[in-house]
Amino acid sequence: MLLLHGHPRTHTTWHKVAPLLARSFTVICPDLRGFGRSSKPADPHDYEASSKRAKARDCIALMDHLGFDEFYLAGHDRGSYTAFRTAMDHPSRVVKLAIMDGVPILEAVERCNAQFASQWWHWFFYAQPDKPERAILADPKAWYQGREEDMGAGNYADFQAAIHDPETVEGMLGDYRAGLALDYLHDREDRQAGRKLQCPVHVIWSLKDDLEKLYGDVLAVWQPWADHTVTGAGIDSDHHMAEQAPGELAHALATFFTM
């Protein structure tokens, strides 16, 4: 099982979830390209290098290296976009796909309204050149917040190291820049070509976050992108569900991947 974290977290966000899943699965938790301790694109404005398509190739290369021809895949937040692209571009490799707190980037762009722009303003700010780095790096701890008592000591330390590293901040912002410059076009090409996800898809969202407020029926948003009936449900959590509701999340993932 390959688990992909979101922004601004690293692989350590899964520190409570991975041991629970490891009772039944081999669990792999990388840092996405540009995040944490993974490599960074040389140019933070190189949209192709930060695209979900490039990161999907990273996922396939990683699983090739580890000897897994097929695998289960789950992604949260920005990691959900890479997970979606991996399953879309490499359908023979992904057996089942779990999406957490996300919809396809094209859906978000096309459904953008005043509510989305006001609540998810960071999408557009982070896509701008240079200014977001200056704002974030002036005081990363205040910008990203997060509390050690909530996150766990090791996870918090890894998170702090990431957000205080200028190259990592640039790498994380590249994910947003590619999203609005390139990734949504890849989604549009898939839709126009009639390509859909070939594997079963399960969607999980945080009930205390804003996905339902923005999109209403989250499963209905996903259904046109999948050949199978999309399943899913919300869980009682704020946005960082792996840290805030690890038992419920691990149970939901294990149930889906073993059914």
Query: What pLDDT digit, counting tens, does each position of 159-201 carry?
Result: 999 999 999 999 999 999 999 999 999 999 999 999 999 999 9
Check if 77 is active-site: yes
Question: Which is catalytic among the residues 45, 164, 239, 251?
Answer: 239
What range does the domain containing 90 cover? 2-258
Exposed, middle or buried: residue 209 (CB in 10 Å: 0-12, 13-18, 19+)? middle
DSSP symbols for the chain: -EEE--TT--GGGGTTHHHHHTTTS--B-PPPTTSTTS---SSTT-TTTTSHHHHHHHHHHHHHHHT-SSEEEEEETHHHHHHHHHHHH-TTTEEEEEEES---HHHHHHT--HHHHHHSTHHHHHTSSSHHHHHHHHSHHHHH---HHHH-HHHHHHHHHHHT-HHHHHHHHHHHHHIIIIIHHHHHHHHHHT--B-S-EEEEEETTSSHHHHHSSHHHHHGGGBSSPPEEEEES--S-HHHHSHHHHHHHHHHHHH-
Q: Are strands 201-206 and 71-76 parallel, antiparallel or unpaired?
A: unpaired
- Give the strands of the sheet with 71-76, arranged side by side: 2-4, 71-76, 94-100, 201-206, 231-235
Structure confidence at residue 1 (pLDDT): 98
Greatest alpha-carbon span in the chain: 48
pLDDT tens-place string over residues 130-154: 999 999 999 999 999 999 999 999 9
Residue 167 in tokens:
């190259």
Residue 34's pLDDT band (cuts 50, 70, 90): very high
User: Virtual CA dihedral for 48, 123, 171, 64, nearest 10 degrees?
Assistant: -60
| pLDDT > 90? residue 18 | yes
Number of domains in the chain: 1
CATH number of the domain to which 113 belongs: 3.40.50.1820
Question: Which is catalytic among the residues 7, 76, 77, 202?
Answer: 77
Distance (Å, whole) CA 42 – CA 179: 18
Query: pLDDT > 90: what percent of the chain?
Result: 98
pTM: 0.97
Residue 42's pLDDT band (cuts 50, 70, 90): confident
